[in-house]
């Protein structure tokens, strides 16, 4: 069955995640990673968000309703809202909750939560009915008469460890588990076809003062290997590497790159991006500033 799945990330930009970032930040990241995974199996997926950044969010906007109204126009077979939880059951860890609005969605909510928990190894906290304006955060504010199943996944606790570390650092894993759970329930519309991935190359972009600035094309992932070597003999040079995650602040690191006379034999550095940037999330812009010419690229 070829599905149209609307993804609605949390708009809770003011809910802090322990260790840095916000609930909405990481929910948006999971949705960005989830969309191509669903498309890989032949399903359509679209992200509906009233705000793409904290700066666009205002308390005067009913952000959830704005995204929901856009989703209704698209006429999906399923609306799934991605959140993380906080505030109660303080001794609980690694558990998940599925929320629904209409009683007709109880069976689907239960099946999808069970599939998600099998994938993640998290404990199921069961399903919960949430009614706009009565108890808790509204699911999606999609009226039942629209005939669109609407569910909300609370994928763990963002206000305590060890859940918070997973939420900050394992967005790809969450996306894979959610995609797997959806495929377990609905099946694939087509067999996945693996794409041939070409190495992303380092290209000279510009010169800033006495520094050469190189850029990598998108997307880069934390598990990509970054290989750079300096076109100079017999000594090290220091380069500064900047990475900008999908959301959040620009990160930077300094690394020393060994120079070699025969650059075909050895790279000055061969390192995973996640080693350079432990908190790097999802796709990133990577910029390298170097005082000498460099060669290199990324091997996926």
Burial class (CB in 10 A: 0-12, 13-18, 19+), 194: exposed
Q: DSSP secondary structure string, 241-292?
A: EEEEESSS--EEEEEEEEB-S-TTT--SEEEEHHHH-TT--SSEEEEEEESS
Instruction: Give the C-alpha separation, 221 to 241, whole Å.
Output: 15
* Domains 4-186 and 200-299 in one fold: no
Instruction: Give the C-alpha separation, 123 to 277, whole Å.
Output: 30
| CATH top-level class of 200-299 | mainly beta
Tens digit of each residue's pLDDT (9 = 90 or more) over 87-136: 888 889 999 999 998 888 999 999 999 999 999 999 999 999 876 544 44
Note whether 290 and 229 are within 8 A (CB): no
Note whether 80 and 7 are within 8 A (CB): yes
User: Is the predicted pLDDT of residue 154 greater than 50, yes or no?
Assistant: yes
Confidence of residue 144 (pLDDT cuts 50, 70, 90): confident
Return the domain boundaries, the chain.
Answer: 4-186, 200-299
Residue with more model confidence, 58 or 84: 84
Tens digit of each residue's pLDDT (9 = 90 or more) over 166-200: 998 888 899 999 999 999 999 988 877 665 656 67
* Token pair of 263 as six digits: 């650059």
CATH T-level topology, domain 4-186: Aminopeptidase (3.40.630)
Confidence of residue 266 (pLDDT cuts 50, 70, 90): very low
Q: Check residue 240 and give its pLDDT.
A: 74
Q: Check residue 254 and give its pLDDT.
A: 73
């Amino acid at each position: 069955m070829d599905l149209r799945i609307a993804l609605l990330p949390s708009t809770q930009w003011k809910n802090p995640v322990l260790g840095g970032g916000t609930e909405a930040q990481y929910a948006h990241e999971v949705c960005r990673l989830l969309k191509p995974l669903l498309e890989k199996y032949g399903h359509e997926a679209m992200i509906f968000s009233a705000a793409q950044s904290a700066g666009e969010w205002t308390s005067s906007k009913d952000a959830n309703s704005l995204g929901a109204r856009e989703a209704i126009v698209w006429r999906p077979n399923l609306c799934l809202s991605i959140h993380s939880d906080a505030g109660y059951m303080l001794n609980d860890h690694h558990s998940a909750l599925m929320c629904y609005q209409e009683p007709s969605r109880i069976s689907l909510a239960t099946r999808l939560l069970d599939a998600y928990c099998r994938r993640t190894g998290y404990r199921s906290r069961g399903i919960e009915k949430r009614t706009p304006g009565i108890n808790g955060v509204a699911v999606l504010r999609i009226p039942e008469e629209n005939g669109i199943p609407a569910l909300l996944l609370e994928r763990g606790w963002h206000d305590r460890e060890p859940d918070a570390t997973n939420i900050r650092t394992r967005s790809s894993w969450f996306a894979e588990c959610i995609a797997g759970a959806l495929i377990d329930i609905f099946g694939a519309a087509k067999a996945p076809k693996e794409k041939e991935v070409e190495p992303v190359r380092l290209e000279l972009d510009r010169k800033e003062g006495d520094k050469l600035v190189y850029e990598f094309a998108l997307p880069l992932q934390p598990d990509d290997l970054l290989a750079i070597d300096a076109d100079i003999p017999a000594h090290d040079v220091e380069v500064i590497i900047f990475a900008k995650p999908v959301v959040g602040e620009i990160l930077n690191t300094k690394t020393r790159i060994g120079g070699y006379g025969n650059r075909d034999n050895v790279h000055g550095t061969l390192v995973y991006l996640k080693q350079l940037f432990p908190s790097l999330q999802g796709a990133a812009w990577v910029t390298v500033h170097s005082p000498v010419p460099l060669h290199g690229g990324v091997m996926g």
